[in-house]
Amino acid sequence: MESSQNPSRVGEQPTHSIKKGATFWFTGLSGAGKSSLSQAVKNEIDKMLGDSHKCFILDGDVIRRGLNKDLGFTAEDRAENIRRISEVSKLFAMSGQLCFVAFISPYAKDRAFGKEIHKAEGIPFYECFINSPLEVCEKRDPKGMYKKARAGEIKNFTGVSDPYEAPEHPELDIRTDQLSIEQSVNVILKQL
Ligand SMILES: Nc1ncnc2c1ncn2[C@@H]1O[C@H](COP(=O)(O)OP(=O)(O)O)[C@@H](O)[C@H]1O
Ligand SMILES: [Mg+2]
């Protein structure tokens, strides 16, 4: 489909070849749909290829329990969190995999670092804004985090007591409050 017919495609981006490694960087508020979408896209690609090893998901919820469990939620720790994930996703992409990164990654400069180090190696990096208004995310509240943040039980919670810098020029802008999960998956598959 032409990008002009697809409201989620921003600009005239080249279509990515599924044969090449790449990083799809999902950024957005908690509850926007990063984890759900990355898993749904992986399921589709696994089925298409008959191979469950082409896609790898780096999910904030998982990485923060393991690799980055020494990090908190100050701006410095968030930056270090994203720096490590950027390096890891680059390595996966260099090995030929499609790496889906599902982190809030609230700061534009941290995401720009990820893009920069991919660019330096000639590895495609697609910033995907998983875009849903705060009110919708808060209503979904899949993990009850907003409730806790509003009650003051969680400090530095993005959107409530910590900033979120929305991407200004994302490769994909996916309005998950307007699209179903299936439609959102299709927007990403079209990039491939
Ligand atoms: N188009 C959509 N894309 C992704 N998730 C959606 C969409 N529409 C509704 N949802 C729902 O929104 C919630 C998003 O939660 P989750 O994927 O955990 O968000 P995040 O990982 O960004 O914090 C899920 O309950 C999911 O079913
Ligand atoms: Mg998640």
Read off the pLDDT of each residue in 168-180 and give the average, rounded to a whole number.
97
Does residue 3 carry a pLDDT above 60?
no
Q: Does residue 8 line the site of ligand 1, with CB under 6 A?
A: no
Using CA atoms, how far apart are residues 30 and 103, in angstroms rounded to an integer? Answer: 9
Ranges of each domain in the chain? 39-191
Terminal CA-to-CA distance of the chain, rounded, Å?
12
What CATH class is the domain 39-191?
Answer: alpha beta
* Catalytic-role residue among 8, 36, 86, 105: 105
**What is the four-CA torsion angle of 7, 11, 14, 17, rounded to 10 degrees?**
-40
Which ligand places an atom closest to the C-alpha of 39?
1
Does residue 125 carry a pLDDT above 60?
yes
- Cβ-in-10-Å burial (0-12, 13-18, 19+) of 47 comes to exposed
- Confidence band for 4, pLDDT divided at 50, 70 and 90: very low
Pocket test for ligand 1, best of 24, 26, 27, 36 (most atoms within 8 A of CB): 36
For 14-39, b/e burial (b = at least 16 CB within 10 A) is eebeeeebbbbbbbbbbbbbbbbbbb
How many residues make up the chain in this entry? 192
The confidence score (pLDDT) of residue 2 equals: 37
pLDDT in tens, 55-101: 999 998 899 999 999 999 999 999 999 999 999 999 999 999 999 99
Read off the pLDDT of each residue in 109-119 and give the average, rounded to a whole number.
97
Q: Are 24 and 34 spatial neighbours (Cβ–Cβ below 8 Å)?
A: no
Q: Does residue 180 line the site of ligand 1, with CB under 6 A?
A: yes
The confidence score (pLDDT) of residue 10 equals: 55
pLDDT in tens, 6-40: 446 555 555 677 778 999 999 999 999 999 999 99
8 classed as catalytic: no
The confidence score (pLDDT) of residue 13 equals: 55
Q: Are 43 and 37 spatial neighbours (Cβ–Cβ below 8 Å)?
A: no
- Confidence band for 1, pLDDT divided at 50, 70 and 90: very low
Please state, rounded to an integer, the average pLDDT across all residues of the chain. Answer: 92
**Predicted TM-score of the model (pTM):** 0.91
